[in-house]
Amino acid sequence: MLLMRLSELAAGVPGAAVTAGGDYDVRRVTADSRGAGAGDLFVAVPGLTVDGHEFAAAAAAGGAAVALMRHIDLPAGAAALQVPDTRSGLAEIAAEFYGRPGRRLAVAGVTGTDGKTTVTHLAAWVLESAGRSCGLLSTVGLRAGTQEEPNLSGQTTMDATEVQAWLARMAAAGATHAVLEVTSHGLVQHRADACEFDVAAYTNVGHDHLDYHASWDDYLEAKAHLLELCAGATAKGIPKTAILNRDDVSYERLRHRPIERRWDYSISGEADLAAGELQLGPAGSHFTLNIGGESHAVSLAMPARFNVSNALCAAGICLVFGLSPAEIASGLSSFPGVSGRLEHIDLGQPFAVVIDFAHAAGALGNALAELRPHVQGRLLLVFGSTGRADHDRPGMGRAAADGADWFVITSDDPVQEDPEAIAREVAIGAAGRSEGHDYEIELDRRTAIRRALALAQQGDVVLLAGKGHERSMITAAGREPWDERAEAEAALIELGYGGADSADA
């Protein structure tokens, strides 16, 4: 069990000062006052709706030490720590408590609107395939050495205490490298502070989350914070490097940000990392990886141009960490794919069934556009919008109307909202398409999947979008088990597919 004196902890946190109880023994750092007691350091973080300072006195009364950024009347004898800002302070406190694990690892952060998960898993796979022990944190999973588990937190970038705890687990397991998927929310809320990044890698910057961020400029600034964290991180003998997408609108804005080294990548022109001789197929891509005058053939077991772009981004991370272009090409070619990312299901049916996590307008439009060239018949779609206000619901309807021949609007994590009302908002964007002819609304997702698969004919492609790898559906009743692949397979079996000669793709 970890244990650190409050005074020792404070000494390693910039701007921190002990106001009482410096000899208090800290065994756990938490931002959750529920259950905080003896041995805990409760950090009073202000949230969107509540302020942790409101619960600091109660936590102290329960025996916890507290970290504050403003004066609060505490019970007599309570141990307390003052910091300039508790949100960024939480990350610094957690990092110090766990022994600054980011300084013992080569760390890459991956951000962007789409593709973060794929790049994170690609980079970690390639590093492992070249003999580097690599941990990862992503929307899909968490890994430290041989310890691997699904990410059930509901957050791509977890709270700072969890991020630092996982980095510490990686270092303890003997990992030398770590790749972290980092969201704009996580960056704004300082959850990724004190990770000591060596690489800041960018996929793209679209127009999602603009209810959380006031404008696209604010969204870009949130993403740019990863560059700032990387540029200001502890030196480890690796040049602090930005990996930027030359094909994205964000490139011109990000390339002027100060950092030690800057590399770019492109699938459509010259760049430090480029893809040549690109051949796209329904199950994957073939291209040459061009780096510094070297060219190496890559066979990528993932369809779509954007996955070639993701592969180049991952290649940049691995190049920073010392892999040769040949090692990178070999690792990319052996990558099996990411669960729920353009994942094919084949039980012998004469049409294609594809699962993808696309749950926002831009990602949905991209997925449909990439599948279209491989459609011989019709492109059918099942999708919904979540009960989160930061998604452009009419935009999702427009993407479906523009990209699919026929679609079903269904439920996708409605949370506390009315699923019917969400679906009607989505349908607003499908103006010009006729309900009952071009699309249907079916709120029961199981029924919606079965409806689309029953209509599919030879040469059609059916895209099931939004749930991807997730293992739950969040409704007003709470979190319910959900497995998109299992539901699709069950529906195909009901239709008579899945015989002895069938195989999963």
- Domain of 284, CATH number, reads 3.40.1190.10
pLDDT in tens, 147-175: 899 888 777 789 999 999 999 999 999 99
The answer to whether residues 193 and 109 belong to one domain is yes
Burial 150-181 (b: 16+ CB within 10 A, else e): ebeeebbbbbbbbbbbbbbbbbeeebbbbbbb
C-alpha distances (whole Å) from 370 to each of 177, 195, 367, 373 are 32, 35, 5, 7
The residue count for the chain: 505
The answer to whether residues 192 and 299 belong to one domain is yes
Res 502: pLDDT = 38
User: Is residue 237 one of the residues assigned to a domain?
Assistant: yes
pTM of the model: 0.86
Do the beta carbons of residue 167 and residue 178 sit within 8 Å? yes
Last residue of a domain, one of 22, 51, 86: 86
> What would the 3-class secondary structure string for 91-132 be?
HHHHHHHCCCHHHHCEEEEEECCCCHHHHHHHHHHHHHHCCC
Q: Which of these ranges, 144-148, 197-201, 347-351, 441-445, has the smallest mean pLDDT?
A: 144-148
The answer to whether residues 178 and 201 belong to one domain is yes
**What is the spatial distance between Cα 120 and Cα 182, in angstroms, rounded to a whole number?**
10
**What is the spatial distance between Cα 305 and Cα 445, in angstroms, rounded to a whole number?**
29
Q: Is 61 helix (H, G, I), strand (E, B) or coil?
A: helix
Query: Is pLDDT at 303 greater than 70 in this prediction?
Result: yes
Distance of alpha carbon 416 from the chain centroid: 23
Question: 275: which 2 tokens?
Answer: 């893809």
User: Is residue 338 one of the residues assigned to a domain?
Assistant: no
Res 404: pLDDT = 98
Q: Residue 133 class from Cβ within 10 Å (0-12 exposed, 13-18 middle, 19+ buried)?
A: middle
Query: Is pLDDT at 338 greater than 50 in this prediction?
Result: yes
Q: State the pLDDT confidence band at 212, using cuts at 50, 70 and 90.
A: low
The answer to whether residues 327 and 348 belong to one domain is no
Q: Residue 77 class from Cβ within 10 Å (0-12 exposed, 13-18 middle, 19+ buried)?
A: exposed
**What is the spatial distance between Cα 247 and Cα 374, in angstroms, rounded to a whole number?**
24
pLDDT in tens, 223-253: 999 999 999 999 999 999 999 999 999 999 9
Question: What CATH number has the domain bearing residue 405?
Answer: 3.90.190.20
What is the average pLDDT across 463-471?
Answer: 93
The answer to whether residues 347 and 329 belong to one domain is no
Res 231: pLDDT = 98
User: Is residue 477 one of the residues assigned to a domain?
Assistant: yes
% of the chain surpassing 90 pLDDT: 85
**What is the spatial distance between Cα 99 and Cα 8, in angstroms, rounded to a whole number?**
12
Tell me how crowded residue 358 is: count the other CB atoms within 10 A of its CB: 27
The answer to whether residues 357 and 430 belong to one domain is yes
Q: Which residue segment(s) compose the domain that 40 sits in?
A: 4-86
Quote the number of domains for the chain. 3
**Higher model confidence: residue 219 or residue 377?**
377
pLDDT in tens, 83-113: 999 999 999 999 999 999 999 999 999 999 9
The answer to whether residues 106 and 253 belong to one domain is yes
The answer to whether residues 327 and 455 belong to one domain is no
Question: What CATH number has the domain bearing residue 49?
Answer: 3.40.1390.10
Res 435: pLDDT = 96
The answer to whether residues 11 and 145 belong to one domain is no
The answer to whether residues 240 and 303 belong to one domain is yes
Res 141: pLDDT = 92
% of the chain surpassing 70 pLDDT: 96
Listed residue (147, 161, 208, 217) closest to 183, CA to CA: 208
The answer to whether residues 435 and 314 belong to one domain is no
User: Is residue 500 one of the residues assigned to a domain?
Assistant: no
What is the average pLDDT across 101-127?
Answer: 97
Q: State the pLDDT confidence band at 211, using cuts at 50, 70 and 90.
A: low
Q: Is 395 helix (H, G, I), strand (E, B) or coil?
A: helix
The answer to whether residues 251 and 360 belong to one domain is no
Last residue of a domain, one of 86, 109, 131: 86
pLDDT in tens, 471-480: 899 999 999 9
Res 1: pLDDT = 72
Q: State the pLDDT confidence band at 213, using cuts at 50, 70 and 90.
A: low
Do the beta carbons of residue 480 and residue 446 sit within 8 Å? no
Residue type, 374: H
Last residue of a domain, one of 86, 115, 135: 86
Distance of alpha carbon 269 from the chain centroid: 27
Res 217: pLDDT = 87
**What is the spatial distance between Cα 457 and Cα 209, in angstroms, rounded to a whole number?**
36
User: Is residue 91 one of the residues assigned to a domain?
Assistant: no
Q: State the pLDDT confidence band at 406, using cuts at 50, 70 and 90.
A: very high
User: Is residue 499 one of the residues assigned to a domain?
Assistant: no
